[in-house]
Structures are given as structure tokens and as C-alpha cells.
Structure 1
Amino acid sequence: MEIKLQPICRPSGSRVDFGAELSGIDVETMSDDEFHILRQALYENQVLVLRNQMSLSPRRQYELTRRFDPAAGVYSHGKSIDKRSVLHADLTTVPDQPQVQVIGHGFVKEYEGLSDVQLNHPHHKAFHKSPIPTDENEDFTHFYRWHIDSAMYDLDPPLVTSLLAVQVPKGRRQTCRYDDGTDATLEVPLGTTAFFSGYRLYEILSDEDKWFVRTSKVEYAPHPYIWMSKAKSRSNGLGIVSEGLELPDEEMPSFEASKIKTYPMAWKNPVTEKLAMMVYPTCVRKIHLENGEVLDNLPEIRERLYRLQRPGIDPCYIYPHDWEEGDLVLFNNHGVMHSIVGSFRDDEVRIFRQCNMAASRPPIGSTDCLSTI
């Protein structure tokens, strides 16, 4: 079978410059040469769609995902998730493959060793400061949270995430409203996964802002998903509203200073060497400047990051994937950010499998980036 790579379908007016569909490779039996083609395609296109992969087992999905980082092996959030974490209700582990999670919505009688499972698609009303009114949820939605798949404490962000669509409700579309002081909206398929490119975000920054991003680092909060558990998000999903609701250290689980993560703002693509602005705004606690100064005024930090990142989520830069059953999507977790989207009815059942593992190395950036500029 001939290997083919073609760009994803983009609507008129889109300025999305990433994403491709790959065909002609059997991911369960591919050779090293074929994997090299797949890896090259992923890092050149950031989001890779492979159709008709319904037969892929959790074990094979894990093996494929780990092939991008053979020294990895632990699920990105560790072996267990604290019940106080904002992620706790969203993930259900496949019993025989702990690196693979079942995510989605609705009641599932039986699937991959699980029985009588109630899946919960995260709804923005539980996390946003100003959610869409309940009587408008059928037609309108918000981006839930723009994020990088990562614990952001102790463990490093996975290199690659894989998502497999097992059951997909069809027939409905929604309008994603930004509700951020602009009239921005985006028509999206029900339950889409939306992506934006950190590379494009970096490209559209001013020269002054590019220098700031290249030379600065962000320090993330310890146990960030517990730290933020009482805080609320902006309506476009890009960061937290500053109301002083983050948990103080004395109310947090114990943590080790050596496990707190500080990463550069600019991450380098291992194939193209392009720079992406990759900052997870909801988890950030401090900024470290090139001159050694540390910024710790959280409201000011959030406003500064929001000014830098908000242009990257303009509707023209967003790719909302229109899921079909059997779609396997691989994405460069060090180059694109993504968000859950959508409001499901109780009778709409959605089943997906997600696999990613804490990376065997931190993101490439900072001095590595500066040496190539």
C-alpha cells in the first residue's frame, strides 16, 4: 500500500498551517523505516490523523505512543490522581493498560474490562467564571481549558499523545463562543478536540515579545490541579481569573521543591528546530527573567501571558477536529496546545481512548533555543 500524506481539510478563511492525514501505514505492524516516516510527518505537521484504526487494541496504542519515547512508561499524571484534583472525575484507566485512559461521556455497560462506567465529558460550567446559561447549552459552548498534557509537577510533559475515537455521537454542531470582550465565535463539531499551534503563536509575536519568550522561564505550581481546584477559568479557556482562590501551601498536599517544574517558554521542535511558545497558563505561578529576577505577582503574570497568548486562539488559527469513529490522532504535545470542547446531552454516548506517558526528558528550549537563533 502506498504511503500518502495530505493536509487536513481547512475551511475558507482558515490560517491553520498544521495538521495532515496519513494513510498507507499499518500502525500495528509497521517497520522501523515506516515509523521514521510517521515520526517525521508528525513533527512536520504537529497533528496527524490516521483513519480506520478501530481494531487498535489498548496494548498496541500504548506501544505505538511509547515508540516516540522508548524510555517513557508511566502515565503522564502518575500512577494515581488525587481526588482533590480537577482531573479526577475525567479519567478512567483501562485495567490491563494503565497508560491508557477511557474518556468520553455517558453510561458504558462494558468496555475493555470496565463495567457499568459513567463517563463525564468535562463541562465548562464546572470550571468557568461565567459559563453559558443552561438553556443555551444545546447550541453554544466554550473551549474548556487550553492545555498541555502534563502533570506539571514531578513528571515531564509527554512528547506525543494519541487519541482514538471509539464511539462518536453525530448530527449536531455547536457554536463555540469566546465571551472574552470580543465577538469571536467558531462553529465546531459536537465534542471536537480543538488545537492551536505554538509555532504560529511564536511567529506572530513582536520581536520584543519573541525575545522575552526565548529568554524567560515559567515556574509551575506544585500539584497544580489541586492548587487551582477552587479557581475559575476565563470564558475562552485561556487561563484563570485572578480572585485569590488558589490553595495556599498549608492546604496543599506535601511537595518537594526539587519536583517543582520550571520550563522555558519557547520549546524547540526536534525535527524542524522551529520554536513554539508553549506555556500552560492555568498552572503558572512565577516567571523567571533572563537577568535573574523572579516575577511572582500572579494577577500581573496572568495578564502578561494572556496578552501574549490570546492572538494564538483567534478563530482563524484553530483546528477543530471533526471526529469519525476509528480516527487515531497523534499530536506533538510539545508544539500544539489543545482544548476539550462541547456540551453533550445525557443520551449522547462518546467513547475515546487516550494514551500518553511522562517524557523521559524535559522540553528542549531555553539555552538550546538561543544557541540556534
Structure 2
Amino acid sequence: MAVKTLQVTPLGVPSNSAVDFGAQIENVNLESLSDAEFEIIRNTLYNSHVVVLKNQASCTPKAQYELTKRFDPKSESYGHGKTLDAKRSVLHPDLKTIPCQPQVQVIGNGHYDEYEGLKNITLKHPHHKVFHKDVTSLMAVKVPAGRRQTLRYDDGTGEEMDVPLGTTAFISGQNAYNLLSEEDKEFVRTAKVEYAPHPYVWMSPAKSRSDGLGMLSEGLELPLSELPPVNEKDIKILPMCWKNPVTGNLALQIHPSAIKAIHLPNGEVMTDLKEVRELVHRLQRPAISPQYVYAHDWEEGDLVLFNNQGTNHSVVGAFSPEEQRLFRQCNLASSEGVMGPDGKLY
């Protein structure tokens, strides 16, 4: 039987779209992936940021984990970490760990009697009325078909998008950087962001902005005294811009919900949380306008890889209780940190 070669093509986007990233690869066999084939996938990922591997319905959790780990063989820890207070984390309702492959979590919507060793589980899709590393892989096992939804930004701009039900929306951090003024580009190349300790616990009482880009500042975040123990050396202070290890291009990469302070180029530190969030929102908001968003139309068997050092993504949509959606997610914490605009690792 002839061996099929990998076929790489750009993702199809509407004619009025300004999305310039994303690729699709056909004929991938993750059970016998050669080094040469992996290099094609790796180079495509770092050049295109989002890669859709089609027809992967037979992919096992083990194969998904091994593919993800291949991008960073030294990585041993989960991308979201093993928080000491997982039940208070905003991620807690959305993730169920697969017993035989604990690096892979199940997410989705609906009740399942059994899946990959998990028994009698009920998955809950995040909803805007409740809460608005290196590489992540997301595998579509079961996808509800049919209806579409209107995604409204509700931030006074009137912007909205027609999207597939339960889409994952991606934007390019590289495009976010390129859209900035020259003055802002200089600022983001030299400023750094400080993230809150145990951020998903810290932010758990707070609510998201309507456009999903960061949190509202209502003083609801938990004080340090109510967080799990904090080791000062574990608090992350990272560049605003990250350099692509393959292309050298810069991407504006800020987690707007987890940010706590900004370290300015002159050495001063912005600690007023409302001001910090407003500044970050101003920098990132242009890049999430509809023309720059890739909303993936999931098909069962899609395995999507996305470069967390060059993209931002958001879950989108609201399901009826009877609609079932089952995905597998695998992300690993980078073993080497991230590359700043100066070429140093942080």
C-alpha cells in the first residue's frame, strides 16, 4: 500500500476576512509519525500558528499526549499546573482528567455514562453569563451539528460575528503586535507584565468583560491571604512581546485576565489593577475585531494544534442542556520558558 505524503494547505477563510494565519494538514498518521513528518507539522505550526490535523477520530489520548510532548520533550508538568486549591479555580468545572493519561483532560457539554475510564460525568460548557506554555492540542470527539450563533461583542462598538455553534476563536499575537502604533510597539518591546499568584483561583469571584478580553475591575479578586501558599519565586514576570523561535517575528502575548501589574521600562511598576487592565485592553482590543478572528468550524476527528506563544484563543457559544460536545485537551508547561524580544528566555 502506498504511503500518502502530508498535504499542507491554508485554512479557508471568508473573502472579507483579514485572517492571515492557520493551515490544514491531511494524511497524518499519529501512530507512526516519522521525524520528517513531525518537522513538517512543527514548522507549519510556528509559521501558521494554528494547525488542523484532519480525520484523527482514531487518535488515542496517549497519541495526543505524545504528539504534544514532542514539541517540548523535557516538559513534565501540566500547562495549567496542579493548583493546591483546584475546586476554587475557574477552570475546575470545565476539566475532567482522563485516568490513563492524566496530561489529557476532557471538556465539553452534556452527560456521558463513560468515556476513556471516566464514569458518569457531566460536562459544562463555559457560558458568558457565568464567566466570560508552549503548544496545546484540542481533539474533537463529538460535535453538535447544525445551528449557528451570533457572537456579539457588547462593548459599544456594535461588532458581531456569525459563528458555528461551539467554535473556538483564535487571533494572532503577531497581528496584534503589527496593528500597534510605533510608539506602542516600542512600549510593548520593553515593558513586562506581572501575573497574579494562583491566577485562576485569584480571579474566581470576578467577572469577564463583555468582549471576553480581560476582567472587570470591581474589587472582587481574592486577597493573597485567601489564596493557597505563595512562593515568591513562582510569580511570573514576563515580556509583553514574545519572539517566534522559527520565524523571529514578534507577537503581543498578554493573558489579560491573569495580569496583576505592569513593570514599566523606566523601572516603575503600575499596580492600580483598573489602570493596568485598561492599558492592556487598549493594546489588545484592535486584534480581536471580527475581521481578524478565525472561528474554527469543528468537525469530528479534527485535532487542532495551536501555538500558545503566538496566538490567543477563546471558547465561544452557549449550548442547550441536551446538546453534547466532547473534546480532549492536552497542554504542557514549557520547560524553557518563553523568548522575549531581546532573544533571552524568561
TM-score normalised by L of structure 2: 0.96
CA contact (8 A) 1:268 1:369 kept: no
Aligned partners of 2:290 and 2:25: how far apart in 1?
25
2:151 to 171, 176, 193: 176
1:187 to 159, 162, 175: 162
Aligned partners of 2:89 and 2:273: how far apart in 1?
21
Q: What amino acid maps onto 1:33 in structure 2?
A: A
Residue aligning to 1:211? 186
Aligned partners of 1:26 and 1:323: how far apart in 2?
19
* Deviation (angstroms), 1:78: 2.5
Residue aligning to 1:135? none
List aligned pairs for 1:249-328, cutoff 5 A.
Answer: 249-328=224-303
* Deviation (angstroms), 1:34: 1.1
Aligned partners of 1:34 and 1:326: how far apart in 2?
19
Residue aligning to 1:117? 121
Q: What amino acid maps onto 2:248 in structure 1?
A: E
How many residue pairs end up in the alignment?
341
* Alpha-carbon spacing, 1:240–1:79, altered in 2? closer, same or farther (3 Å): closer
Q: Which runs of 5+ in 2 are unaligned?
A: none
Q: Deviations over 1:265-312 (max 9, x none)?
A: 000111111000000011111111122111111111111111111001
* Deviation (angstroms), 1:366: 4.1
CA contact (8 A) 1:166 1:325 kept: yes
1:220 to 195, 199, 206: 195
Residue aligning to 1:46? 49
Q: Does 1:85 align with 2:89?
A: yes
Aligned partners of 1:322 and 1:284: how far apart in 2?
30
Aligned partners of 1:343 and 1:3: how far apart in 2?
35
Q: Does 1:359 align with 2:330?
A: no
CA contact (8 A) 2:143 2:298 kept: yes
Q: What amino acid maps onto 2:196 in structure 1?
A: A
1:346 to 294, 299, 321: 321
Aligned partners of 1:25 and 1:339: how far apart in 2?
26
Q: Does 1:73 align with 2:76?
A: yes
1:13 to 3, 16, 20: 16
Aligned partners of 1:35 and 1:252: how far apart in 2?
41
Aligned partners of 1:190 and 1:337: how far apart in 2?
19
Aligned partners of 2:31 and 2:164: how far apart in 1?
29
SS of residue in 1 equivalent to 2:121: strand
Residue aligning to 1:107? 111
Aligned partners of 2:170 and 2:124: how far apart in 1?
21
SS of residue in 2 equivalent to 1:233: coil
SS of residue in 2 equivalent to 1:62: helix
Q: Kindly report structure 1 stretches of 4+ aligned residues shifted beyond 4 Å.
A: none
Aligned partners of 2:10 and 2:344: how far apart in 1?
28
Q: Deviations over 1:78-105 (max 9, x none)?
A: 3456211111111000001010000000
Residue aligning to 2:208? 233
CA contact (8 A) 2:8 2:25 kept: yes
Aligned partners of 1:330 and 1:283: how far apart in 2?
23
SS of residue in 1 equivalent to 2:228: coil
CA contact (8 A) 1:198 1:336 kept: yes
Residue aligning to 2:40? 37
TM-score normalised by L of structure 1: 0.90
Q: Which runs of 5+ in 1 are unaligned?
A: 128-143, 145-156
CA contact (8 A) 1:214 1:369 kept: no
Q: What amino acid maps onto 2:102 in structure 1?
A: P
Q: What amino acid maps onto 2:219 in structure 1?
A: G
How big is the alpha-carbon RMSD for the aligned residues of Structure 1 and Structure 2?
A: 1.2
SS of residue in 1 equivalent to 2:323: coil
Aligned partners of 1:63 and 1:319: how far apart in 2?
27
Aligned partners of 2:299 and 2:44: how far apart in 1?
21
Q: What amino acid maps onto 1:87 in structure 2?
A: L
Q: Deviations over 1:298-348 (max 9, x none)?
A: 111111111111001000000000000000100101100000001000110
CA contact (8 A) 2:250 2:341 kept: no
CA contact (8 A) 1:107 1:117 kept: yes
* Deviation (angstroms), 1:3: 2.1
Q: Does 1:56 align with 2:59?
A: yes
CA contact (8 A) 1:266 1:369 kept: no
